[in-house]
């Protein structure tokens, strides 16, 4: 039965057809199911959507009562509905479940109201299938539950404040940290409940700084809870409504007390290691200085004395040779002494060379004169002279090696100041390499450093120049010394092949040593380089 049949039947024989057909036409095009229920609780009209939703034909539907479709509504409930509608002319909305032809339950929302064009009155039920809404609601509730479970069980500290600085939510971690329960936390007002000490003011500033701009803010708060010092990192973010207006401030905190303590211990460990390295380095420099002095003064002096002695011996040997030669040259041939037969035979057998009247030998060997003295230069003397020359050359070479060792241990020029030491280092670099080196520095009297700082700068520049020699393939190096009231800055620039600083190998102990040496004096080292762009090492040391 349609609306035309309802209102044009025996009960409404005089109704205007145009007025009756119009509602039917409209209701069939509504996307919600429409029921008309008479006072006998029968379904006297259903629209197309209702038939599709429940799986019945129009005829089958008109044979049913409302309680047949909705098993939760009994006849007495529908009767009660008539009475309630008489008390509430704006209608009643409630949820229920309808059963379709296949027996499936469909969650629905029913909006009921009086429908009376002519007598008798009917109940108009607008029934909305809320299965999708129900599923969305369930999914939303499930997601909300998951989110709540995540928030409640996270170790992070989470709290929400409204625009009046009133706490509207805190998670379990906050309650555990503060030692209170949810009932005590509800309604906290930041301006009233947070003590006016450093931590309270810090949190208040973070929250209030987020309110005007909506930009997040973060900081660390130090507070004492139960006699224990805590450090909390807090981040405040603004929450917006659909209109883009700030509605609340969400604060997310993390207890970083253990992290900060570990960090402090690590810094202390690094400080102790640097102090140890500084002490060991100072001892090493002192030991090198001592060894260099011993090598230069003691060993060098002994070698010099040895060379002087060898020189004197060589001079004495030459003097003796000249005296013997002069004495033998004065022998007179007329006053020659008869040579005995035994000596004459030995000389003939051993030398096979003619002997003149003066007792001189030929080229085949030495001889003795009539009195047994050496004639000319004795071969033994030649041997002594050769060995003497070799010893003197060895002593000279050893002295040179000793000087090199002493210089490498600690150049004496360091005792003259930093600038003369750098000038010497520049000259040595140029002497040993096919590479130019320029030093730009202030007057040496303007640069006054203690011995430890001077040695550190010298060693850093020395190591940097060594790296240039080994790796840079540079043709020019520039050393620049810059001095101001508080810092000394050394720039070491080369035009070599360069490298990527982020790819420095972990076992690059040269650069690591440079950094550590400078760090011991509270200085800093930066390295700027790129492939094909050369390298710039910047050393900065505090002075004064």
* Angle at CA of residue 449, ends 443 and 455, nearest 5°: 105
Burial annotation 95-133 (CB, 10 A radius, 16+ → b, else e): ebebeeeeeeebbbbbebbeeeeeeeebbbbbbbbeeee
Q: In angstroms, how far apart are the furthest CA atoms of the chain?
A: 193
DSSP character at residue 257: H
* Angle at CA of residue 40, ends 35 and 41, nearest 5°: 35
CA of residue 403 relative to chain centroid, distance: 46
Contact yes or no for 83/76 (Cβ under 8 A): no
- Say whether the peptide bond before residue 408 is cis (omega within 30 degrees of 0): no
Mean pLDDT, residues 1-19 taken together: 44
Q: What is the pLDDT of residues 364-416, one digit of tens each?
A: 334 334 344 444 556 666 777 778 788 888 888 887 787 777 777 777 788 88
Q: Is 109 helix (H, G, I), strand (E, B) or coil?
A: strand
Strands of the sheet containing 157-162, edge to edge, are 167-170, 157-162, 246-255, 228-240, 217-225
State the DSSP string of 366-401.
--B-TTSPBPSS-HHHHHHHHHHHHHHHHHHHHHHH
**Where does 35-130 have alpha helices with state H?**
48-54, 58-62, 66-69, 75-87
pLDDT of residue 348: 42
pLDDT of residue 337: 42
Look up residue 119 and give its two tokens.
């007598």
pLDDT of residue 3: 47
What does the mean pLDDT of the chain come to? 77
Mean pLDDT, residues 321-344 taken together: 52
Between these two residues, 535 and 343, which has the higher pLDDT value? 535
Q: What is the pLDDT of residues 65-95, one digit of tens each?
A: 888 888 777 767 767 777 777 677 778 888 8
* Angle at CA of residue 359, ends 358 and 361, nearest 5°: 120
pTM above 0.75, yes or no: no
The CA-atom distances, in angstroms, between 109 and each of 72, 135, 161, 198 are 13, 14, 36, 55
**Which of these, 362, 359, 297, lies nearest to 331 by C-alpha position?**
359
Strands of the sheet containing 535-542, edge to edge, are 436-440, 476-483, 487-494, 535-542, 524-529
């Amino acid at each position: 039965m349609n609306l035309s049949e309802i209102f044009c039947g025996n009960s409404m024989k005089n109704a205007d057809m145009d007025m009756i057909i119009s509602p039917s036409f409209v209701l069939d095009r509504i996307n919600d199911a429409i029921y008309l229920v008479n006072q006998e609780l029968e379904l006297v009209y259903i629209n197309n959507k209702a038939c599709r939703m429940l799986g019945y034909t129009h005829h089958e539907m008109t044979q049913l009562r409302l309680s047949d479709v909705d098993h939760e509504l009994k006849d007495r409930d529908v009767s009660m509905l008539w009475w309630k509608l008489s008390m509430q002319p704006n209608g009643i909305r409630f949820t229920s479940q309808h059963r379709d032809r296949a027996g499936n339950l469909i969650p629905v929302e029913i909006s009921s109201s009086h429908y009376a064009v002519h007598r008798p009155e009917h109940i108009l039920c607008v029934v909305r299938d809320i299965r999708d809404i129900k599923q969305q609601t369930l999914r939303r509730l499930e997601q909300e539950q998951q989110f709540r479970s995540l928030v409640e069980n996270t170790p992070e500290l989470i709290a929400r404040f409204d625009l009046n600085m009133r706490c509207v939510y805190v998670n379990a971690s906050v309650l555990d940290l503060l030692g209170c329960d949810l009932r005590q936390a509800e309604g906290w007002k930041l301006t009233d409940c947070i003590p006016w000490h450093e931590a309270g003011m810090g949190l208040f500033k973070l929250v209030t700084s987020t309110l005007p701009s909506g930009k997040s803010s973060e900081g660390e708060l130090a507070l004492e809870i139960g006699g224990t010092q805590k450090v909390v990192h807090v981040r405040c973010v603004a929450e917006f409504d659909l209109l883009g207006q700030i509605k609340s401030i969400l604060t997310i905190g993390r207890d970083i007390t253990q992290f900060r303590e570990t960090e402090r211990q690590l810094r202390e460990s690094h400080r102790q290691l640097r102090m140890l390295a500084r002490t060991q380095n100072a001892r090493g420099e002192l030991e090198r200085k001592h060894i260099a002095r011993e090598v230069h003064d003691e060993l060098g002096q002994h070698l010099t004395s040895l060379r002087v002695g060898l020189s004197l011996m060589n001079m004495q040997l030459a003097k003796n040779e000249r005296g013997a030669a002069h004495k033998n040259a004065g022998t007179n041939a007329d006053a020659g002494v008869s040579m005995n037969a035994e000596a004459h035979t030995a000389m003939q057998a051993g030398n096979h060379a003619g002997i003149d009247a003066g007792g001189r030998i030929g080229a085949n060997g030495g001889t003795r004169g009539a009195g047994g003295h050496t004639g000319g230069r004795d071969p033994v003397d030649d041997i002594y002279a050769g060995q003497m020359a070799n010893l003197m050359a060895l002593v000279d070479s050893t002295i040179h090696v000793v000087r090199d060792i002493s210089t490498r241990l600690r150049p004496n020029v360091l005792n003259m100041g930093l600038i003369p030491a750098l000038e010497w280092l520049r000259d040595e670099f140029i002497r040993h390499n096919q590479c130019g080196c320029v030093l730009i520095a202030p007057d040496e009297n303007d640069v006054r450093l203690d011995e430890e700082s001077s040695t550190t700068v010298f060693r850093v520049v020395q190591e940097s120049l060594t790296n240039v020699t080994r790796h840079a393939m540079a043709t020019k190096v520039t050393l620049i010394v810059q001095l101001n009231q508080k810092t000394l800055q050394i720039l070491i620039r080369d035009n070599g092949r360069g490298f990527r600083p982020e790819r420095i190998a972990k076992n690059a102990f040269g650069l690591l040593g440079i950094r550590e040496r400078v760090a011991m004096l509270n200085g800093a080292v930066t390295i700027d380089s790129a492939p094909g762009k050369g390298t710039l090492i910047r050393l900065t040391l505090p002075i004064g």
